[in-house]
Every structure is written in C-alpha cells, then in structure tokens.
C-alpha cells in the first residue's frame, strides 16, 4: 500500500512538472515568437470557432497573409476583431487594407482595417477559453494561495513529527539479523563489544539506507508543486479577449494599431475665388484609402466636419481688413484617428472679397 501511495505521489509530481514546463514554454513562445492567446467572447465565427473558444495567434506581416486566414486586428473603437480575411490590398509603405468577414455574418465588415502586421490564428479549441478565464479570477487565485500555504505548514509539522519518532528497530542494537543467511559471511552484520569495532549506530545507519523512501515527503512535494505551477500558469499566460464580432471589448494590439492610427491625408488641396464677395472654394483629392469623413480646420473659427463623398467646401465671411486664415483638410479614420502631415492653404480677407 505504501508503494502505491509513493507511485501516485511521484506521478502527480511528474505531471505537475510537465505542466510547469508547458506553461514556461508558452510564456517563452509568446515573448520570442509573438504568439499570444485569444479568448472568443462572441460567435460570428461559428460554427468553426464558438463563443468561449481559446485560440493561439502569431503576429504576422500583412504581406504574408492569405485570403481565408483567420486574422485578429482592432476595429474603429480599438476593439479586437477576429474574422476571416476575404480580401487584401497593398496601399504603399508596407501597409495593407484588409477586408474581413465573420463566417456567421451575411456580409463583409463595414470597415477596412489598415495594418502592416496582424495576428493570424494558428490553433483553437472550443470551450477552453471559459476554463482559462475562470481560473484567473481572484477567488480562485486566492484559494490556490491558501492551499499552498496550508500544505507548506502541514509539511513542516509532518517533518518535525517524523523526526521525533523512535527508530523502528525492536530487536535492539546488538542482536544479529535472523533473516541473514548464516552461510553467507557477507550478509552478517558484525557486532563488537565496547572495546572497539563497529558500533550499533553504524549498523542502524546501514540498515536505514536499505529502507524505501518515505512516500509522505514526495506526496507533500507534489501537493506544493502542483498549485504553485498552476498559479504560475495563470500569471504567465493571460489571453486577450477578442470578439467575432458583436459587443466585446479588448485592448488594442500596439503592433497593429501603430499602422492603423495614421490615416492617409487628402492630396491636391486648392483654393479659388468664385465671384461672390467674401467667399472662397476649397477643393481636394481623396487619399489612396477613403477615410470615414473629412474635417476642415480654420485658424479663425471652429472645425467643420464634411462627409466622405464631398471634395469641396465654400468658406464664407471672408470680408475684412487684410487679415488671412489658414485652412487645413484632414482625413478622419476609425472614429477619432486623424491624418498627419496634411497640406493647407491660406485665404486672405479684404474689403472687396477674398483672395487665395
């Protein structure tokens, strides 16, 4: 029976060690190879990837993505969306416009995603995300910590009690071993008197070497190792929530967002008078990728939003005494991301009208 307990304790310890190695390898893979876990919180990728699935995704250059890949990028509000890639177009500078669609959605996503890198899903398992997120909740982490502390206290007490136990040798120090073969001299443990030679303590030490290891020590070690490694797993591997794609919220992946946060500015901005006193017409050309809308900024008045289908705007109230204003046309993409490096024009006010 003691041997079975010893084997069970050693098996548990081995499994705990294997789990710890897997957790460490997972953390190392995320650090060195840009592999990150994702937990799906909605079901527009059903039936292949369902709500509560756990996936592993690797950051991949957009130039290496293929139509049909399942790709994870942030949407206009910074919410991570994981859908299937249905089209990809280069727009220059290593940036690509990605068109994606959920398997359960009838139409493509309304937005195009600008990215130089994206996370491509390599593997997934339905239902496993629920387990991963559950064990990371504070009550479970606290419970595991209490368990570890209790096991450590118990192990210390058990060790002290074991040290106080008398030796299990009812035959005395100087009695010969009846089980030894009298014809075999090597099996006889010599016993000497007080005058010298081997003492009874030496004989006891030799006898204790042949005893099997106490399974309690291995069992306690296993009980301590398993929760510690589980706590390490929850600390090292924290999955990002992703939607596919309805109402979920998640952090922006900085590698993807850095490419998408700078929409292409409009080009060819021009100014001309239109024969009406106090008015001038501003015109521009659309950038390579159409933004969500435009915004005209003025140095003497509030900004004016303009729809994406508009390419001109008439500036009014330009009568004055030789002052000038600067007009800048900006492209707005993904809600609040504004183009940088946008050219501008200067419009001069005078008593007879405006001049560009």
| Angle made by CA atoms 347, 350, 351, in degrees to the nearest 5 | 150
Lowest mean pLDDT among 15-24, 89-98, 201-210: 201-210
Whole-angstrom distance, CA of residue 224 vs CA of residue 171: 37
Q: Which residues contact 202 (CB under 8 A, 6 or more apart)?
A: none
Lowest mean pLDDT among 63-72, 105-114, 250-259, 303-312: 250-259
Mean pLDDT of the chain: 70
Predicted confidence (pLDDT) per residue in 298-334, tens digit: 888 888 888 888 899 998 888 776 678 899 998 886 5
**Domains of the chain and CATH, by start:** 34-134+238-258 (2.10.109.10), 262-355 (2.60.40.10)
Predicted confidence (pLDDT) per residue in 159-182, tens digit: 555 566 555 554 444 444 544 444
Predicted confidence (pLDDT) per residue in 8-52, tens digit: 666 766 665 665 565 666 666 666 667 778 888 777 888 899 878
Q: In this structure, how many other beta carbons lie within 10 angstroms of the beta carbon of residue 179?
A: 6
Higher pLDDT, 338 or 258: 338
Query: pTM (2 decimals)?
Result: 0.43
Cα–Cα distances (Å) from 243 to 58, 195, 237, 296, in that order, read 17, 85, 19, 34
């Amino acid at each position: 029976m003691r041997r079975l307990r010893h084997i069970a304790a050693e098996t548990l310890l081995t499994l705990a060690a294997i789990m710890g190695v897997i957790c460490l390898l997972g953390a190392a893979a995320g650090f060195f190879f840009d592999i990150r876990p994702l937990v799906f919180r909605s079901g527009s990728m059903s039936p292949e990837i369902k709500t509560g699935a756990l996936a592993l995704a690797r950051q991949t250059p957009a130039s290496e993505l293929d139509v049909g890949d399942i790709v994870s990028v942030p949407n206009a509000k910074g919410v991570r969306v994981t859908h299937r890639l249905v089209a990809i177009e280069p727009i220059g500078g290593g940036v690509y416009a990605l068109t994606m669609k959920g398997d359960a959605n009838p139409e493509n996503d309304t937005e195009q995603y600008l990215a130089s890198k994206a996370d491509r899903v390599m593997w997934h398992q339905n239902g496993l995300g629920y387990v991963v997120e559950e064990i990371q909740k504070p009550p479970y982490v606290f419970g595991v910590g209490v368990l570890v502390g209790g096991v450590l206290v118990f192990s210390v007490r058990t060790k002290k009690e074991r040290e106080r136990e008398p030796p299990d040798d009812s035959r005395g120090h100087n009695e010969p071993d009846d089980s030894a073969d009298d014809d075999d001299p090597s099996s006889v443990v010599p016993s000497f008197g007080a005058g010298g030679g081997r003492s009874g303590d030496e004989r006891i030490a030799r006898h204790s070497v042949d005893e099997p290891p106490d399974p309690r020590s291995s069992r306690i070690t296993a009980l301590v190792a398993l929760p510690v490694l589980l706590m390490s797993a929850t600390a090292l591997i924290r999955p990002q929530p992703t939607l596919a794609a309805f109402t979920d919220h998640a952090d922006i992946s900085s590698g993807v967002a850095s490419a998408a946060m700078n929409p292409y500015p409009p080009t060819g901005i021009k100014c001309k008078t239109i024969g009406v006193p106090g008015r001038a017409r501003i015109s521009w050309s659309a950038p390579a990728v159409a933004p969500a809308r435009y915004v005209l900024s003025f140095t003497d008045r509030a900004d004016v939003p303009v729809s994406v289908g508009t390419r001109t705007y008439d500036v009014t109230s330009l009568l004055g005494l030789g002052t000038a204003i600067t007009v800048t046309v900006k492209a707005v993409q993904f809600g609040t991301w504004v183009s940088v490096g946008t050219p501008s024009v200067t419009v001069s006010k005078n008593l007879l009208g405006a001049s560009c």
